[in-house]
Amino acid sequence: MQRLVLFLLLACSLVSYSQKKQALSITLENVDYAYPVKFLPLSVEGQDLRMAYMDVQPLQPNGSTVMLFHGKNFAGYYWTNVIKGLSEEGYRVIVPDQIGFGKSSKAIINYSFHTLAGFNKQLLDSLGIKQTVLMGHSMGGMLASRFALLFPENTSQLILTNPIGLEDYKTFVPYASTENLYRIELKTTPESVKRYYQSSYFVKWKPEYDELVRVASGITGSSDFPRAAKVAALTSQMIYEQPVVYEFPQLKVPVLLLIGTQDKTIVGKGRLGDDDQKKYGQYTVLGKQTAAKIPGSKLIEFNNSGHIPHLEIPEEFMKALMANIRK
């Protein structure tokens, strides 16, 4: 009996150790980025915050800068291959983790795309950068669009790669309060993250995508996870309540759309029935509709990719990007 008790205690100890080993800090201190990370201090609503960013200098500069905005379920770490490709072509590459994401502060503030755009303008100003090509993926596409609308003089080109917000979600997705969204976020598990990524993001699942799941779900093991869940709820509400789709015709900068047509992303998808899930989030239609709204825009479609073409079809994506990016 005593041996059994000792065995059970040891087993519990090993499980506990394994869980702690797998748990990630909500500011990803134990996640390595491919390039050095710096921090911009910000004071927001009486709080001292830190905005993480990578500033990658090319060996042979071409005089141009590209700023990359990540999606809601990601941070700067998933841009590695794009950073490398751009840097090799002479671009200086700035890659912020937005406030509330990645290695940046998980602030409980009034989130808005206007506010986040202002933070990124502060970052550019602090680095002495007057103009940049701005590329945004997923939620980053909504933010990049808002930035270009607010600061066209600082945006030499806007590149949108599978942005969300190409339709107004609040017109067909039932409303959920921030408190309800918070409760849903608290239930996040590695299994639920993987199911969502598989059903919405990729044409065919590959083992390397498990690393995205590990980082996205690893913070659920942190004692600070409720704070991160609250931020996730607040930023989900920001996306739902602050569409940019009606302002696309007002863009005054050159726009390039890079769209994986097999994307099925819908913000609030879980609040829709099966029929509506099939009806909305159809990027094979949304890409063309959006291009038609933006004067002078160029659309490139990838029929063999879903939500994240820069990871799913990296060679084809980079070839299209480099052929159409402005210097």
Do the domain assignments include residue 187?
no
Residue 62 · residue 16 · CB < 8 Å: no
**Looking at residue 271, what DSSP letter applies?**
G
Q: CATH number for the domain including 251?
A: 3.40.50.1820
* Confidence class for position 17, pLDDT limits 50, 70, 90: very low
Domain assignment present for residue 141? The answer is: yes
301-324 confidence digits (pLDDT tens): 999 999 999 999 999 999 999 999
Residue 52: inside a domain = yes
**Tens of pLDDT along 39-49?**
999 999 999 99
Task: Tell me the C-alpha distance between 204 and 215, whole Å.
Answer: 20
- The predicted-structure confidence for 105-116, as pLDDT tens digits, reads as follows 999 999 999 999
If one counts the domains in the chain, the total is: 1
* CA distance linking residue 15 with residue 30, whole number of Å: 20
pLDDT at 199: 87
| Residue-range definition of the domain harbouring residue 316 | 31-172+243-324
230 within domain boundaries:
no
Residue 23: inside a domain: no
Do 132 and 234 meet the contact criterion of CB atoms below 8 Å apart?
Answer: no
What is the pLDDT at residue 132? 98
Considering the domain boundaries, does residue 181 fall inside one? no
**Amino acid code (one letter) for 284:** T
Q: What's the pLDDT score for residue 5?
A: 35
Instruction: Give the span between the Cα atoms of 110 and 319, in whole angstroms.
Output: 39
- Whole-model pTM: value is 0.93
Average pLDDT of the segment spanning 287-298:
97
> For residue 297, what pLDDT is reported?
98
Summarize pLDDT for 150-181 with one digit per residue, the tens. Answer: 999 999 999 999 999 999 999 999 999 999 99
| pLDDT score recorded for residue 22 | 67
> In the prediction, which pLDDT does 19 show?
39
List pLDDT tens digits, range 50-84. 999 999 999 999 999 999 999 999 999 999 999 99
Residue 298 lies in a domain: yes
Distance CA 56, CA 326 (A): 18
Check whether 11 has a pLDDT greater than 60: no
pLDDT band for 327, please (50, 70, 90 cuts): confident
Could you read off the pLDDT of 181-217 as tens digits, one per residue? 999 999 999 999 999 999 889 999 999 999 999 999 9
Asked whether residue 113 is domain-assigned, the answer is yes
CA distance 215 to 23: 9
> Which segments of 37-119 are extended strands (E)?
38-44, 47-56, 65-69, 92-96
Instruction: Please check whether residue 219 is in contact with residue 24, taking contact to mean a CB–CB distance below 8 angstroms.
Output: yes
